[in-house]
């Protein structure tokens, strides 16, 4: 077994509900758990063919990258993520995690592309400046240009657009589900987010969804769609900007609000490089997909929302 299989092994030996129902659980804690698993089960891992020393280094490196705000660091995890995906897809216990990871593989690809572009014609560069939001927007437009609509999306788009319209949210934003889960209602993140729109347990409960072992309404496309629309409307009401609202949806409204206040900023671009790497890429990815699927910019959606409220 190659070291990239480590986290898959950890997931297989643990109940998925142990991850999903712990509200404070995040990717950093998952990696911390993996670290403990290595230390406590070194002999077992040796038996499975995992080099414990290499595995420790992999987890430490991933932990640093998940915590960081330097987008280029994600490129180092590209091969690991691609090795991990087919392993997760093989087992019923981890297929929901595979759906989550699959919708995020392009983050690693884009990070690598951006890094290669930034190093063209440069030598002896110890640390590249982070890619600007404008650079990332251009990269995502190129990446999604030839991307077909996921086949499974066709059964969800029209019902979800109706729900978003009823909740006074631009229906074009249903494509957030493509970014979050590739329209897989069973997608589950290691942090505990579930469903088409990857709602965390606490957020889902605050939006009147039932979240439990026997019944989890986040896997219901219509109910999770309505909850996501309500949450997006709330975030837009607070930040009055769709880029900021989407950043808050991904990274948390407290973090976004705190950065705006701390840096006396008003726009996503002004605070982007202080946000987690995933969020820095998430916002332009959503923006590019809305443009590709609907032919509209996020700025166009803002006035539509105001019109709907009048």
β-partners of residue 211 are: 216
Flag whether 84 is in a domain. Answer: yes
Do residues 289 and 153 share a domain?
A: yes
Question: What distance in Å separates the CA atoms of residue 1 and residue 27, rounded to the nearest whole number?
Answer: 23
The tens digit of pLDDT for each residue in 19-42 reads: 333 333 455 555 565 566 666 666
Q: How would residue 9 be classed by pLDDT, with cut points 50, 70 and 90? A: low
Most confident range, picked from 23-27, 75-79, 252-256: 252-256
Whether the Cβ atoms of residue 243 and residue 173 lie closer than 8 Å to each other: no
> Choosing from 180, 217, 278, 287, which is the catalytic residue?
180
Residues 74 and 152 in one domain: no
Together in a domain, 85 and 146: no
pLDDT tier, 68 (very low <50, low <70, confident <90, very high otherwise): confident
Check if 180 is active-site: yes
Residue 127 lies in a domain: no
Q: Considering all CA atoms of the chain, what is the largest pairwise distance in Å, rounded to the nearest integer?
A: 66
| DSSP of 219-259 | GSHHHHHHHHHHHHHHHHHHHSSHHHHHHHHHH-HHHHHHH
Q: What is the mean pLDDT of residues 60-77?
A: 73
The answer to the question of residue 126 being in a domain is no
What are the E-state strand segments in the chain? none
Residues 281 and 206 in one domain: yes
Count of domains in the chain?
Answer: 2
**DSSP secondary structure string for all residues of 196-216:** TTTB-HHHHHHTT--BSSS-B
Which range marks the domain in which residue 46 is found? 3-119
pLDDT of residue 18: 37
């Amino acid at each position: 077994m190659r070291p990239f299989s480590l986290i898959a092994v950890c997931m297989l030996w643990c109940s998925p509900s142990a991850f999903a129902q712990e509200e404070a659980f995040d990717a950093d804690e998952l990696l911390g758990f993996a670290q403990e698993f290595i230390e406590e089960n070194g002999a077992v891992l040796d038996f499975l063919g995992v080099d414990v020393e290499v595995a420790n280094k992999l987890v430490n490196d991933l932990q640093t990258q998940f915590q960081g705000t330097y987008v280029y660091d994600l490129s180092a995890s590209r091969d690991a993520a691609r090795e991990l995906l087919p392993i997760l897809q093989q087992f019923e216990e981890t297929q929901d995690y595979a759906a989550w990871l699959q919708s995020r593989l392009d983050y690693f690809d884009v990070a690598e592309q951006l890094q290669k572009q930034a190093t063209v014609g440069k030598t002896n560069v110890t640390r590249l400046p982070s890619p600007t939001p404008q650079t990332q927007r251009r990269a995502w437009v190129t990446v999604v240009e030839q991307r077909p609509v996921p086949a499974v999306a066709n059964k969800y788009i029209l019902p979800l657009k109706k729900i978003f319209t009823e909740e006074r949210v631009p229906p074009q934003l249903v494509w957030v589900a493509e970014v979050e889960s590739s329209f897989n209602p069973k997608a589950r993140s290691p942090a505990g987010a579930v469903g088409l729109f990857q709602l965390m347990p606490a957020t889902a409960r605050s939006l009147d969804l039932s979240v439990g072992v026997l019944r989890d309404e986040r896997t219901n496309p219509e109910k999770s769609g309505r909850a996501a629309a309500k949450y997006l409307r709330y975030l837009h009401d607070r930040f009055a900007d769709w880029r900021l609202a989407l950043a808050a949806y991904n990274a948390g409204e407290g973090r976004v609000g705190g950065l705006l206040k701390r840096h006396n900023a008003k726009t996503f671009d002004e605070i982007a490089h202080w946000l987690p790497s995933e969020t820095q890429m998430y916002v332009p990815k959503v923006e590019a997909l809305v443009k590709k699927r609907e032919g509209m910019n996020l700025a166009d959606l803002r006035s539509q929302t105001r019109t709907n409220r009048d």
